[in-house]
Amino acid sequence: MRIGAIEAGGTKFVCGIGDENGRFEHRISFPTEHPDQTLPRVITYFQDKGVEAMGIGSFGPIDIRQDSPTYGYVTTTPKPGWGNYDLLGTLKQAFPVPFGFDTDVNAAVYGEVKWGAGQGLSSCLYITVGTGVGIGVYSEGQLVHGLVHPEGGHLLTRRHPEDDFVGSCPYHGDCLEGMAAGPAIEARWGKKGHELPVDHRAWKMEAFYIAQSITDAILLLSPQKIILGGGVMQQPQLYPLIREAVLLNLNGYVSSSAILDHMEEYIVSPGLGQQAGLGGALALGLTAWNNRVSSI
Amino acid sequence: MRIGAIEAGGTKFVCGIGDENGRFEHRISFPTEHPDQTLPRVITYFQDKGVEAMGIGSFGPIDIRQDSPTYGYVTTTPKPGWGNYDLLGTLKQAFPVPFGFDTDVNAAVYGEVKWGAGQGLSSCLYITVGTGVGIGVYSEGQLVHGLVHPEGGHLLTRRHPEDDFVGSCPYHGDCLEGMAAGPAIEARWGKKGHELPVDHRAWKMEAFYIAQSITDAILLLSPQKIILGGGVMQQPQLYPLIREAVLLNLNGYVSSSAILDHMEEYIVSPGLGQQAGLGGALALGLTAWNNRVSSI
Which of B171, B172, B249 is facing A156, going by the closest CB pair? Answer: B249
| pLDDT of res. A296 | 46
Of A61, A220, A250, the CB nearest to B220: A220
The band of B294, judged by pLDDT with boundaries at 50, 70 and 90, is low
Contacts of B79 (CB under 8 A, 6+ apart): B10, B32
Shortest CA gap A50–chain B (Å): 33
Q: How large is the average pLDDT for residues A41-66?
A: 96
Digit-coded pLDDT (tens) for A81-138: 999 999 999 999 999 999 999 999 999 999 999 999 999 999 999 999 999 999 999 9
Do B3-104 and B117-269 have matching folds? yes
Contact B252 A221 (CB under 8 A): no
Inform me whether the pLDDT recorded for A292 exceeds 90. Answer: no
Taking CB atoms and an 8 Å limit, are B158 and A155 in contact across chains?
A: no
Give the nearest partner residue to A220 out of B61, B152, B254, using CB atoms. Answer: B152
Q: Give the strand order in the sheet containing B99-103.
A: B24-31, B12-18, B3-8, B53-58, B99-103
Query: What's the one-letter identity of residue B12?
Result: K
In this predicted model, what pLDDT tens digit does every residue of B102-146 receive, in sequence order? 999 999 999 999 999 999 999 999 999 999 999 999 999 999 999
Interface mutation vs chain B, best among A219, A247, A251, most B CBs within 10 Å: A219
Residue spans of the domains in chain B: they are: 3-104, 117-269
Question: What's the Cα-to-Cα distance from A281 to each of A129, B8, B230, rounded to whole Å?
Answer: 19, 44, 42
Band of pLDDT at residue B78, cut at 50, 70 and 90? confident
Mean pLDDT to the nearest integer, A228-252? 97
Contact between B227 and B126 (Cβ < 8 Å): yes
The confidence score (pLDDT) of residue A181 equals: 98
- Read off the pLDDT of residues A7-34 as tens digits, 9 standing for 90 and up: 999 999 999 999 999 999 999 999 999 9
CATH of domain A117-269: 3.30.420.40
Q: DSSP string covering A192-250, please?
A: -GGGS-TTSHHHHHHHHHHHHHHHHHHHHH--S-EEEESGGGG-TTHHHHHHHHHHHHH
d(CA A194, CA B92): 59
Which residues 6+ apart lie within 8 Å of A72 measured at CB? A62, A63, A86, A87, A88, A89, A92, A99, A101
Q: Which amino acid is at A224?
A: Q
Alpha carbon dihedral A230, A231, A236, A239, in 10-degree steps, equals -40
Tell me what the mean pLDDT of segment A199-228 comes to: 98
Distance CA A276, CA B146 (A): 22
Averaged pLDDT, B81-103: 97
The backbone torsions φ and ψ at residue A135, rounded to the nearest 5 degrees and listed phi first, read: -130, 115
How many Cβ atoms are within 10 Å of B109's Cβ, its own excluded? 38
Please name the residues in contact with B251: beta carbons below 8 A apart, sequence gap of 6 or more: A171, A172
Q: What is the ipTM of this complex?
A: 0.96
Confidence of residue A294 (pLDDT cuts 50, 70, 90): low
State whether A258 and B76 contact (CB < 8 Å).
Answer: no
**Among candidate residues A159, A219, A107, the one with its CA nearest the CA of residue B144:** A219
Which of chain A's residues have a Cβ under 8 Å away from the Cβ of B250?
Answer: 171
> A148 and B255 in contact by Cβ < 8 A?
yes
| B142-143 and B133-139 beta bridge pairing | antiparallel
- For residue A153, list chain B residues with Cβ-Cβ distance below 8 A: 219
Report whether CATH 3.30.200.20 matches the domain A3-104.
Answer: no
Closest Cβ opposite residue A146 in set B123, B142, B172: B123
Distance CA B262, CA B43 (A): 45
